[in-house]
Structure 1
Amino acid sequence: MNKPIRVVSVFCLVLFLALLVNASYLMYVRADSLSDDPRNRRIITATFSRERGAILVGKEAIARSVPSDDKYKFQRTYSQPYKYAPITGYFSWYGQTGVESSQNSVLAGDDSRLFVTRLVDMLSNSDPKGGNVQLATNAAAQDAAWDGLEGLPGDAQGAVVALEPTTGRVLAMASTPTFDPNKLASHDFGAVADLSKELNADPREPLINRAIGTTLPPGSTFKLVTAAAAIESGNYDADSQVPGGYRFKLPQSSTTVGNYDGGNCGGRRITLTQALQVSCNVTFMSLANELGVDAMAEQAEAFGFNDTSLEDLGGQAESLYPRDLDPPQTALSGIGQSSVTATPLQMAMVAAAIANDGDVMRPYVVDEVRAANLSVLDRTDPQSISKAISSTTAEELTTMMVATVDSGTATPAQIPGVQVAGKTGTAQSTADRPPYAWFVSFAPADNPQVAVAVLVQSSDTSRSEIGGGRLGGPIAKAVMEAVINQ
């Protein structure tokens, strides 16, 4: 073989080997990343050309795919977009969020539980269909939660979470401001890209599900955790005498902190029940200081702090109780201030655990996975994740919370003929912005069916009128009534 032919042969061999290496690299190394790349139009066309499964609340499909008159064959639609967007998320050419993301393999028809369905479709030469996802949501509770947030004055920011205490079912999860997932599911990809940029740049952060993605100081609702730690120590019960008075001097400091209303909580010595009824800051700072950071942290973590629990919905933020608080910070943590932060879901879990004899149930939004013919393929089993408090402590706290609704700061949550347990919270923020309003509750107190947490992050309410009971109480009441009256 002469030299020119040998050079050409070697060059062709090198090109062949390079092609082989590149093909192997693409198929075995980069296959997943290329499939997930939003710029991969082939994947987009294939995904949009398959009938994606529905997301159901009761018998209503709140998200489904309908035939379209373009090359993508199917258009994703949302029947109640703003109300359910924090749960459903969106299905778009550049990605998914919410249940659309966490249950994507089911909805797309790729989940292993749909193997038989895919096999039948192939043998019958039918177009493949995705599976359906049945949510645990209670439609009436979701309506009440959404209506409550919408009824807040001005361009409000807030969230509501309702749980079934004995199972952890998420009966309602609403967040405002929100967005229209129909617009993000459009086949006009240029318009979708523009809208996405607009939503991400919006200072109101409408794409965030505040129920699980926003952590703020829980304020006086955290006094339930402090009270739980005090009772669990064995030194206190609902009738124990505790410090009251006008002000508490932070340890190792010259700073004193008073009560929210500037009063003395009813005297220098009051019962623990009365302290919760009037939300006495002095009492719960004193208790946190006495218990110490380790006992407080252990109790908070038993309720779910410093961890995440919701496994079938992405976007969770971790509620925090730092273990490195100094004595002044530890005292302030007893009233839900200092560096303590919580999501509405976390505070709903605290209320639900008290309602459930101290057992913390893992929250879940997906109740069932179904095939396209609606046959049930899988069902979520309730799971206890911790024993936060004893049943005796839960009973004591319930008694105290009922007294708080009957004749304390939580009276706006009263339901005629129903015993309600509740606690208000007004968490201080920076000096240049209003406080955050919180409310947690459950009902009926003697046979709990629903536990609720409400956060009003901001609204057009004058600073002097902001309070957990005034803003959050009526919303929690409406959600509890929606569940109880069904």
Structure 2
Amino acid sequence: MNAPIRRLSTFVALLFATLLVSTTIIQVFLAKGLNAREDNRRTLLSTYARERGQILVGDTPIAVSTPVSGEFKFLRTYPAGPMYADLTGYYSFYGAAGGLESTENALLSGSSDKLFYRRVSDLFTGRKAKGANLVLTINAKAQEAAYDALGDQRGAAVALNPKTGEILAMVSKPSYDPNALASHDLAALDTAYKALNGDPARPLVNRAIAGNLYPPGSTFKVVTAAAALSSGRFQPDSVLPGPANLDLPQTTVGLPNSGGRACGADDKVSLTDALRISCNTAFGWLGMELGGDALRQQAAKFGFGDQLAVPMRVTASSVPAELNKPQEAQSAVGQYDVRVTPLQMAMVAAGIANKGVVMKPYLVQSVLASDLTTIESGEPSTLSEAISPDVAAELTTMMTSVVASGTGTAAQMDGITVAGKTGTAQHAPGAAPHAWFISFAPAENPTVAVAVVVEEGGTAGNEASGGRTAAPVAKAIMEAVLR
């Protein structure tokens, strides 16, 4: 072989080697990134080739894929629209986002390893591949009651089965219509997303489990009372200081009662009455007596600080560390830097209702294949034992007095004993307070526990209170479950 042919052969071989290397790099090392590119239309269109599984409440679908003509094979629709938006999330041309569409995308799309053998079976039988269906723990009447009762007010409501941890209702307001974000009209989709994402009311945030957490206000007094009773140093009839204003050490700023009055004769009040009328000064004193460590430890037993998924990730609630004496007093009444989700406060109520045992909350009752065979089921599991059964019974009695003759009378129901606690939480200078209510019923054998927060007093504004504003919402939810 002469020199020119040898050089040409070497050059051609080098070209083939370069081609082989570049193809290998693209197919092996860059494939994942290329598939994930937002402008990769082929990959995006392929996600519509398989029918996505349904999300159901009972037998009613709240997310379903409908066959359509054109390059998009299916259109994702949400028959109940905004009522379930924070649970479903949405599935658009750009992928799954929010709620179950995102967290359970592998099951809904059919790509989960849990569906491997079914995919193999589909290949042999010629059966059309579909995603799995999710059946939720939601009680449709409770969800509707929560959505309607909150109305146009900003806030959130959560209802749990205290014995199992099943989420019976979860509503965040304002909500949004996921159908607008599932549209095949990409220009309209982009416009809808930009409008929602730019809305200062943050409709895309699920306030029940995430977002900027809330100070719980006086609903946290049940945690402080639990710590006091569990310490063995206090009983329901223990007498506490209850002046109109509690002097705090290390500061000239005191802790006042709402209304500026003492909580009892001679500035004294029992622990039960302090909870019934929501006495700030008594609980502030109690917080300093117990100390910050006791408050944090008791809160942790109710789930504060836990990284939960329901299966959507839940932002952990918290009690701040390293509290000085004034901060202990403020924290004991649910102020200072105590921050919670409505789900967490529903867990506190549910733990007391369930004789001190907090169950892990969950939203998916079962996962079904396209032929309705069960792939997996949600099972109740214990998260923690927050308090003893005796302390739970004492707190239940104390909380029933709140509804019977205290600050929570708006939650009373004919023929049903309700246990509850109101809260009015200060959160920003000059802003109306958040209104809270937590409760469970029937008090003797609870089957529903609820937490409601209405931001900045809702329609009542500065005149709002937990009893006036949030308790009627909780009552509507409990009635929907019980009646």
TM range (shorter): over 0.9
Distance in 2 (alpha carbons) for counterparts of 1:14 and 1:297? 68
* SS of residue matched to 2:70: coil
Count, aligned residues: 480
Q: Write the deviation string for residues 158-192 of structure 1: whole angstroms up to 9, x where unpaired.
A: 11000000111000001111111111111122321
Letter in 1 for 2:235: D
Question: Relative to 1, partners in 2 of residues 1:345 and 1:4: Cα closer, same or farther, differing over 3 Å?
Answer: farther
Deviations 1:233-266 (A, max 9, x none): 1111211111211111222222111012211112
The answer as to 2:196 corresponding to 1:195 is: no
Partner amino acid, structure 2, of 1:212: I
Q: 8 Å contact 2:137–2:365 — kept in the other structure?
A: yes
Deviations 1:303-361 (A, max 9, x none): 111223234114x3221111122222121000110011101001001101111111111
Cα pair distance change 1:57/1:462, threshold 3 Å:
closer
1:114 paired residue number: 115
Per-residue deviation, 1:5: 5.5
Tell me if the contact between 1:320 and 1:342 (Cα under 8 Å) persists in the aligned partners. Answer: yes
Report SS of the residue matched to 2:309: coil
Gaps of 5+ in 2: none
Seen in structure 2, the aligned counterparts of structure 1 residues 460 and 281 have a Cα distance that, compared at 3 Å, is closer
Q: CA deviation at 1:34?
A: 3.7
Cα distance between partner residues in 1 of 2:463 and 2:457: 11
RMSD, matched Cα: 1.7
CA 1:271–1:22 in 2, change beyond 3 Å: closer, same or farther?
A: farther
Q: Distance in 1 between matches of 2:178 and 2:420?
A: 34
- What is the Cα deviation at residue 103 of structure 1? 1.1
2:376 counterpart letter in structure 1: D
User: What aligned pairs does 1:254-403 form with structure 2 within 5 A after superposition?
Assistant: 254-267=252-265, 268-314=267-313, 316-403=314-401
- The answer (yes or no) to whether the contact 1:39–1:94 under 8 Å persists in 2 is no
CA drift of 1:54 comes to: 0.3
Aligned partner letter, 2:120: L
Are 2:244 and 2:256, in contact at CA under 8 Å, matched by a contact in 1? Answer: yes
SS across alignment from 1:458 = helix
Matched with 1:73 is: 73
- Would the aligned equivalents of 1:179 and 1:207 in 2 still touch at CA under 8 Å? yes
Secondary structure of the equivalent of 1:191?
A: helix
Q: Secondary structure at the match of 1:160?
A: strand
Instruction: Tell me if the contact between 1:297 and 1:321 (Cα under 8 Å) persists in the aligned partners.
Output: yes
| Distance change (3 Å), C-alpha of 1:294 and 1:459 | closer
Q: Percent identity?
A: 49
Per the TM alignment, residue 117 of structure 1 is displaced from its structure 2 partner at its CA by 2.6
Of 216, 219, 243, which aligns to 1:218?
216
Residues 35-74 of structure 1 mapped to structure 2, 5 A cutoff = 35-74=35-74
Matched with 1:465 is 463
Measure, in 2, the Cα distance between the counterparts of 1:297 and 1:272: 20
> Which range moved further: 280-289 or 322-331?
322-331
Moved more, 457-466 or 205-214: 457-466
Aligned partner of 2:233 in structure 1 is 235
User: Which residue of structure 2 aligns with residue 163 of structure 1?
Assistant: 160
Structure 2 counterpart of 1:179, from 176, 181, 193: 176
Q: 1:124 to 1:418 in 2, by over 3 A?
A: same
The 1:247/1:71 distance shift into structure 2, 3 A limit, reads: same
Structure 2 CA distance for partners of 1:287 and 1:109, relative to 1, 3 Å: same
Q: Relative to 1, partners in 2 of residues 1:9 and 1:269: Cα closer, same or farther, differing over 3 Å?
A: farther
* Offset from partner CA, 1:413-471 (integer Å, 9 cap, x none): 10110010000000002222111011100000110100000010136534442111111
Change in CA separation of 1:194 and 1:15 when aligned onto 2, cut-off 3 Å: farther
Matched, 1:142 2:140: no
Q: TM-score, normalised by structure 2?
A: 0.95
Alpha-carbon distance in 1 for matches of 2:299, 2:3: 79
Q: Tell me if the contact between 1:38 and 1:93 (Cα under 8 Å) persists in the aligned partners.
A: no
Matched, 1:450 2:427: no
C-alpha separation in 2, matches of 1:128 and 1:246: 69
Structure 1 distance, partners of 2:337, 2:18, is 56
C-alpha displacement of 1:71: 1.2
Q: Do the aligned residues in 1 keep the contact of 2:433 with 2:462 (CA within 8 Å)?
A: no
Query: 1-side partners of 2:408 and 2:441: how far apart?
Result: 13
For 2:231, give the aligned amino acid. Answer: S
Who is 1:103 aligned against? Answer: 104
Instruction: Give the equivalent residue in structure 1 for 2:130.
Output: 129
Give SS of 2:214's match: coil
Question: What are the Cα deviations for residues 22-77 of structure 1, in whole angstroms up to 9, with x where unaligned?
Answer: 44344444444444443322222111121111000000011000111221111001
Provide the rounded CA distance (Å) in 2 between the counterparts of 1:8 and 1:196: 57
CA distance in 1, matches of 2:189, 2:7: 52
Structure 2: distance between partners of 1:470 and 1:395: 26
CA distance in 2, matches of 1:221, 1:19: 68
**In 1: Cα distance, 2:85 partner to 2:455 partner:** 19
Distance 1:18 1:477, change over 3 A: farther
Deviation at 1:112, TM superposition (A): 2.5
Displacement of 1:232: 1.0
SS at 2:250 equivalent: coil
| Number of the residue aligned with 2:204 | 207
CA contact (8 A) 1:310 1:362 kept: no
Structure 1 pair 9–218 and aligned structure 2 pair: CA distance change class (3 A): farther
| Distance across 1 between alignment mates of 2:48 and 2:355 | 47
What's the secondary structure of 2:459's corresponding residue? coil
Provide closer, same or farther for how the CA distance between residues 69 and 282 of structure 1 changes in structure 2, counting only shifts above 3 A. same
Residue 137 of structure 2 aligns with an amino acid whose one-letter code is A
TM-score, L = length of structure 1: 0.95
What are the residue-to-residue correspondences of 1:19-38 with 2, within 5 Å?
Answer: 19-38=19-38
Deviation at 1:3, TM superposition (A): 6.2
Aligned to 1:475: 473
Distance in structure 1 (CA, Å) of the matches to 2:405 and 2:385: 30
